[in-house]
Amino acid sequence: MAHVLGVDIGGSGVKAAPVDTSTGEMIAERQKFDTPQPSTPEAVTEVVQKLVAAFSWTGPAGITFPGVVAGGVIQTAANLDHSWIGVDAVKAFGTASKLPVTVLNDADAAGIAEVAFGAGQGVGGTVLLLTLGTGIGSALFTDGKLVPNTEFGHIQIRGKDAERRASEHAREEHGLSWGVWADRVDEYLTHMEALLSPDLIIIGGGVSRKSDKFLPRITGLRAEIVPAKMLNDAGIIGAAMAVERG
């Protein structure tokens, strides 16, 4: 099962591409649609259907979701319509796409890709991947094994969810300079280091393309901190890989 369609659902966009899971490479140019508003199950599954059709895909698909996914059922939906909560996503996406699907948390998918083929490849100990985008997603690994659905974007910093202060969306919404925003990210990462003592922190999500603007300003951490090698494609690649992981 070397070729699998990876679909990455985010708060602002839904993107997909077929992936060679043996190399972690996309084998066609990715396609992207805006996340529908309101982002109800019906509307989002329709977008996934369009992406499946765009590639004329008939094989298996891995699909990410920005929230806790337990046994294929959506438990939280902080950045999508709350009507998702309680939905059997495997059934919903499988029925809409007529494909065998695997559904998992979006940051977990990005982490799977980065640990297998990216910035976390061959790294032992504790690896923490954080995606800074519409919210903050997290994926935690110990010696290459995933601890699923961590959702560390919702820890409290100064009385607010961390993602309301330190996500890319927060930077754009409040018109923050890179320096001011980097200070917020630094504060958040200091909290995460105190909680988890990671050996490596990988920064993913859309803002990873601009890591030179803020990572050099992050100081005082014991852990090594690096941008994701796959940048914002890690979710697509990890979604496809999750199909084979079962």
Q: What is the CATH number of the domain that holds 154?
A: 3.30.420.40
Task: Give the residue-averaged pLDDT of 84-110.
Answer: 97
- β-pair partners for 3: 20
Provide the domain count of the chain: 2
Structural domain for 103, as ranges = 3-108+234-245
Residues 136 and 206 reside in one and the same domain: yes
In a domain, 238, yes or no: yes
- Tell me how far the alpha carbon of residue 31 is from its chain's centroid: 17
Residues 41 and 81 reside in one and the same domain: yes
**From residue 84, how far is each of 4, 8, 78, 216 by CA, in Å?**
25, 16, 10, 38
SS3 (DSSP) at 203: strand
Rounded distance between C-alpha atoms, residue 64 and residue 48, angstroms: 11
- 111: region left, alpha or beta (phi > 0 left; psi from -120 to 50 alpha): alpha
Residues 42 and 96 reside in one and the same domain: yes
Residues 141 and 206 reside in one and the same domain: yes
Residue 67, pLDDT score: 95
DSSP string, 64-118: EESS-EETTEE---TTS-GGGTT-BHHHHHHHHHTS-EEEEEHHHHHHHHHHHHS
Q: What is the pLDDT of residues 147-187, one digit of tens each?
A: 999 999 999 999 999 999 999 999 999 999 999 999 999 99
In a domain, 201, yes or no: yes
Which residue type occupies 124? G
**Res. 49: pLDDT tops 70:** yes
Outline where 5-77 has alpha helix (H): 41-54
Rounded distance between C-alpha atoms, residue 28 and residue 103, angstroms: 21
Residue 160, pLDDT score: 94
Rounded distance between C-alpha atoms, residue 112 and residue 6, angstroms: 13
Rounded distance between C-alpha atoms, residue 199 and residue 136, angstroms: 20
**From residue 234, how far is each of 72, 118, 228 by CA, in Å?**
20, 9, 8
Task: Give the residue-averaged pLDDT of 110-116.
Answer: 98
Q: Using 50, 70 and 90 to split pLDDT, how confident is the model at 203?
A: very high
Residues 95 and 128 reside in one and the same domain: no
Residue 1, pLDDT score: 56
Residue 231, pLDDT score: 87
Residues 89 and 176 reside in one and the same domain: no
Angle formed at CA 15 by CA 166 and CA 211, multiple of 5 degrees: 35
Contact 163, 136 (CB under 8 A): yes
Residues 140 and 92 reside in one and the same domain: no
Residues 67 and 35 reside in one and the same domain: yes
**Res. 13: pLDDT tops 90:** yes
